[in-house]
C-alpha cells in the first residue's frame, strides 16, 4: 500500500506540477512572442488662469488636480480605448494587418476579418490608458510586436488625442460665441427697426420732438387765452363808454374775434380727433416710439457686452493636451515576463498540488 501510495503521489505530482510546468516552459521558451511597450504620460489643462480660484479647496486636496482637468482627462481616457480611436489607427497605421501577421503565439492571434467587437477587445488588450488620481496624469501604453510599431501607434494616438481635446473645447467655445452673436444680431436688427420707425414718424409728422412741440403749442394757447381775457375785458369797458358802432369798439371787437379764431385753431391742432393727427396724439405716439427705441438701444448695448463676456469665458474654457512624458522607442521587450510568469505558475501549481494532496489524505483517513 505504501509503494502504491508513493506511485500515486508521484503520478499526481507529474500530472499537476511537472507536466503543466513543461508546457509552460515550452510555451514561454518557443512560442511566446516578445511584446514591446511604448508609454507616455499626458494631462489635459485648462488655459484660464483664474480657474484654480473657482475650484473648491477640498476638491483640489482630494484629487491633486482641478476637477475640470480631471473630467476632461477621463473623457480622453475613454476616447483612447474607444472604437473611434481603433478605427483611426487602422486608417493611419494599418495595425490590424501587422498584428495579424504574428502566428506563433496562440494567445495573441488576431483574425483580420474578425468582427469589430472582437477587434476592440484585442485592441484594448494592447492599448491601455490609466489615470493617476494623485498626480492627475494619464499614462498611455501601447504593446506591439516591434518597437517601431508601438511608438508609431502611440504618437498617432497622442496626435488624435490633441485634436480631440482641442475640438471638444473649441466646439463649446464656438457654441457660446454663436449664441451670443445671434442674440447680438437680433438686438441690432430690432434697434435698427425701432430707429427707422421713429425717423419715419418724425418725417411724416414734420416734428423733431412730439412732446416738445405739443408743449410749445400748449404755451401758445395759454398766451392766447391770456390775451383773449385781456382784450375781452377792454372791449367790455369800451361798450360802457362808447357806442357799439364806434370805430374803436368795432376795431376792438375784430381784435377779440381774431384772437378767438386763432385760439380755436390752436386748440383743434392740440386736442385729439378721430383722424389722430393732433399734437397730443403725435406726442403720445412719439413718446412710445422713443421709449421703444431706448429699450432696443439698451438691449443692443447689453448684447454687445454679452458677446465680449462670452469671448472671455470661451477663452477660459480652451483646453490643451500637455505631454509630460513623450513616447519612447522601447529597447527591450517588457512582455512576456518569462521568469516571473514561470515562477508564479510553479508556485500556483505547488499550492494546488499541496491542497489536492491534503484533500486526498483526508479522504483516506476517513476511509480507515
Q: Tell me the per-residue pLDDT of 287-320, one tens digit each, with 9 for 90 and over.
A: 677 787 778 778 878 878 777 777 766 666 677 8
Specify the 3-state DSSP secondary structure of 276. Answer: coil
| 176/111: higher pLDDT | 111
Specify the 3-state DSSP secondary structure of 98. Answer: helix
| pLDDT above 80 (res 172) | no
State the average pLDDT over residues 97-101: 92
State the average pLDDT over residues 189-198: 80
| 214/37: higher pLDDT | 37
Residue 252: in which H helix or E strand, if any? helix 247-270
pLDDT at 357: 83
Average pLDDT, the chain: 77
Where exactly are the structural domains of the chain?
1-32+350-368, 34-176+318-349, 181-314
Give dist(CA 366, CA 368) in Å, integer. Answer: 5
Grade residue 55 by pLDDT with cuts at 50, 70 and 90. Answer: very low
Domain at 34-176+318-349, CATH homologous superfamily: EIF_2_alpha (3.30.70.1130)
State the average pLDDT over residues 178-191: 80
List the single range of 76-90, 240-254, 330-344 with lowest mean pLDDT.
240-254
Give dist(CA 325, CA 177) in Å, integer. Answer: 34
Give dist(CA 187, CA 169) in Å, integer. Answer: 27
- Residue 234 near residue 300, CB atoms below 8 Å: no
Bridge partners (DSSP) listed for residue 162: none
Q: Please name the residue that has the C-alpha cell 510586436.
A: 145
State the average pLDDT over residues 110-132: 92
pLDDT at 273: 46
pLDDT at 272: 46
- For residue 272, which phi and psi values (nearest 5 degrees)? -65, 155
Grade residue 358 by pLDDT with cuts at 50, 70 and 90. Answer: confident
pTM, entire model:
0.60
State the average pLDDT over residues 159-185: 80
Name the DSSP class of 35: B
pLDDT at 56: 44
Give dist(CA 72, CA 335) in Å, integer. Answer: 31
pLDDT at 252: 73
| 34/208: higher pLDDT | 34
Give dist(CA 221, CA 311) in Å, integer. Answer: 57
Amino acid at each position: 500500500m505504501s509503494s502504491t501510495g508513493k506511485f500515486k503521489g508521484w503520478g499526481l505530482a507529474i500530472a499537476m506540477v511537472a507536466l503543466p510546468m513543461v508546457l509552460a516552459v515550452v510555451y514561454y521558451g518557443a512560442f511566446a512572442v516578445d511584446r514591446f511597450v511604448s508609454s507616455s504620460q499626458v494631462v489635459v489643462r485648462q488655459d484660464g488662469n483664474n480657474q484654480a480660484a473657482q475650484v473648491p479647496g477640498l476638491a483640489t486636496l482630494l484629487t491633486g488636480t482641478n476637477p475640470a482637468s480631471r473630467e476632461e482627462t477621463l473623457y480622453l481616457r475613454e476616447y483612447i480605448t474607444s472604437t473611434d480611436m481603433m478605427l483611426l489607427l487602422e486608417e493611419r497605421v494599418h495595425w490590424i494587418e501587422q498584428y495579424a501577421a504574428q502566428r506563433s503565439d496562440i494567445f495573441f492571434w488576431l483574425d483580420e476579418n474578425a468582427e469589430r467587437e472582437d477587434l476592440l477587445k484585442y485592441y484594448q488588450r494592447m492599448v491601455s490608458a490609466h489615470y493617476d488620481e494623485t498626480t492627475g496624469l494619464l499614462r498611455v501604453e501601447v504593446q506591439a510586436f516591434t518597437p517601431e510599431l508601438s511608438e508609431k501607434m502611440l504618437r498617432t494616438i497622442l496626435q488624435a488625442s490633441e485634436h480631440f481635446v482641442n475640438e471638444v473645447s473649441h466646439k463649446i467655445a464656438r457654441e457660446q460665441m454663436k449664441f451670443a452673436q445671434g442674440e447680438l444680431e437680433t438686438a441690432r436688427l430690432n434697434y435698427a427697426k425701432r430707429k427707422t420707425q421713429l425717423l419715419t414718424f418724425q418725417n411724416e409728422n414734420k416734428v423733431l420732438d412730439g412732446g416738445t412741440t405739443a408743449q410749445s403749442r400748449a404755451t401758445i394757447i395759454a398766451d392766447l387765452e391770456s390775451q383773449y381775457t385781456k382784450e375781452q375785458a377792454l372791449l367790455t369797458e369800451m361798450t360802457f363808454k362808447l357806442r357799439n358802432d364806434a370805430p374803436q369798439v368795432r376795431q376792438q371787437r375784430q381784435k377779440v374775434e381774431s384772437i378767438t379764431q386763432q385760439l380755436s385753431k390752436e386748440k383743434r391742432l392740440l386736442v385729439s380727433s378721430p383722424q389722430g393727427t393732433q399734437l397730443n396724439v403725435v406726442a403720445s405716439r412719439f413718446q412710445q416710439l422713443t421709449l421703444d427705441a431706448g429699450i432696443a438701444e439698451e438691449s443692443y448695448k447689453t448684447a454687445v457686452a454679452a458677446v465680449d463676456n462670452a469671448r472671455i469665458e470661451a477663452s477660459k474654457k480652451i483646453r490643451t493636451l500637455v505631454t509630460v512624458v513623450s513616447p519612447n522607442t522601447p529597447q527591450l521587450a517588457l512582455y512576456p515576463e518569462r521568469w516571473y510568469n514561470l515562477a508564479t505558475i510553479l508556485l500556483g501549481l505547488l499550492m494546488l498540488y499541496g491542497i489536492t494532496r491534503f484533500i486526498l489524505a483526508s479522504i483516506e483517513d476517513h476511509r480507515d
